[in-house]
Amino acid sequence: MTLTSTRDAASTATLSEAIARGLAPDGGLYVPPAMPRTSPLDFDGLEALPEIAARLLRPFFAGDPLEPELAAICAEALDVPAPVVPIDRAPGAASVLELFHGPTSAFKDFGARFLAACLARTHRNSRATGGQGPPDRAKLTMLVATSGDTGGAVAAAFFGRSWADVALLYPKGLVSARQAQQLACWGGNVRTFAVQGTFDDCQRVVKEAMLDPALSRVRTLSSANSINIGRLLPQMSYYAAASLAIFRRESRRPNFIVPTGNLGNAVACVWAREMGLPIGRIVLATNRNRTIVDYLERGDWRPRQSVATLASAMDVGNPSNMERLNALFPGVENLRGHVTAHSVTDDEIRATIGRDAAELDRVWCPHSAAAAHVYRTVRAEDPDAHWVIVATAHPAKFNDIVEPLVGREVPIPPALERLLSLPRSEEDLIPTLDALRGRLEATG
């Protein structure tokens, strides 16, 4: 498959090229020129997530040097549980898609591991055939803007890989204490920058760096944010697996409520449905950063400075992946026919965490709680549907918020507990391209 930029259809790339670049040269995001089509019947006999992913992603890898490696990539990267757990105490049919059982207890593990597995093979193949560029640029530098979970997942996926360096940029003081520890506990080939600004500042600097000629002369750059299609593609697989499991059992298409900030996880769900997976309504849950909600309600796209909320990983005022949604559904009227969105306040998040712990025996992270609140709002609109709440992070990552609301300690997953015990190392950074360029050039 040849991919095109959201900004210029003449700007094309193979899948391997798009994954390696991260961002198109014109600043756009890579998308398929037409969405491949499939059907539930194409997945008959497939139940394991890596098998479903390999079948789902086959059209994207067709003709690419990575095509022979697809099954191995999926087996390596997606060997992570993504269970669909019924909520027995909820009215009607409701389940939780738990995406927090990976090494950093967040859904970002799926995409980060897949991206690392792809790039490892691309690097190996490049070296075996003589590669391109001078020896001092053989290493790949992964730039990551993170509002909390992406950075930790990318660090875990790329840590110790000799062919890659990682630069994480996160908004200082605007993530949970345990998220900050996850971002700064690595060392080695991972450098962590605590940025004096918001996530949008971090994302802007990363995009500027990706397009900076001076930096590209001394570094081979790529991005591990959801702007990279290599992060987004594998996220389709757990929506495919969850929807197929429910459809096979109940003969109905489940509705999904997706907590979202930068819209990567939401686009993955939309793309899976557009490919023909049995997915019903897609409802987006945002926090007080209302850019998406206001766009759907008012019709004008107005990015703005993000505001800090309890659901910090969704504190995004200028969601990058809106470009992909607009490319797929040109015009806001068209988009309104395919997704809806709701904004959730901090007070509503707090109330949902406390209430659902008592009434449903479910403990949510703040982001998952936003989706759970929206579920209570919209379930009456489609009472005969099977609603799936997407739980994106383990509540133990937000213990300072969650535990006082539920009145008990939240057990820490073993993988997260190990990271919390490691020493911490990070550098302060002002949010400018010059500042980041200087740090990266200084290390060669």
Reading the block at residue 110, the tokens are 């799926």
- The pLDDT assigned to 131 comes to 47
* 53-57: average pLDDT: 98
Question: Are 195 and 220 spatial neighbours (Cβ–Cβ below 8 Å)?
Answer: no
Phi, psi of 101 (to 5 degrees): -100, 15
Q: Are 360 and 87 in contact (CB under 8 A)?
A: yes
Please tell me the predicted confidence (pLDDT) of residue 442.
77
pLDDT at residue 381, rounded to an integer:
93
Mean pLDDT across 291-312: 94
pLDDT confidence tier of residue 132, bands split at 50, 70 and 90 = very low
Q: Provide φ and ψ at 106, rounded to 5°.
A: -150, 160
Q: Is residue 186 over pLDDT 60?
A: yes
Checking if the pLDDT of 396 tops 50, the result is yes
Percentage of the residues of the chain whose pLDDT score is greater than 90: 85
Task: Between 335 and 219, name the one with better pLDDT.
Answer: 335
Contacts of 78 (CB under 8 A, 6+ apart): 49, 50, 53, 110, 113, 114, 234, 237
State which H helix or E strand residue 200 sits in.
helix 199-210
Whether 305 contacts 198, CB under 8 Å: yes
Say whether 122 sits in a helix, a strand or coil.
Answer: helix
Tens digit of pLDDT for each residue in 222-233?
888 888 999 999
pLDDT score of 1 more than 50: yes
pLDDT digits (tens, 9 = 90+) for 98-127: 999 999 999 999 999 999 999 999 888 765
pLDDT over 50 at 136, yes or no:
no
> Is residue 392 scored above 50 in pLDDT?
yes
pLDDT score for 127: 56
Rounded to the nearest 5°, which phi and psi values hold at 85? -110, 120
For 302-328, the pLDDT digits (tens) are 999 999 999 998 999 999 999 999 999
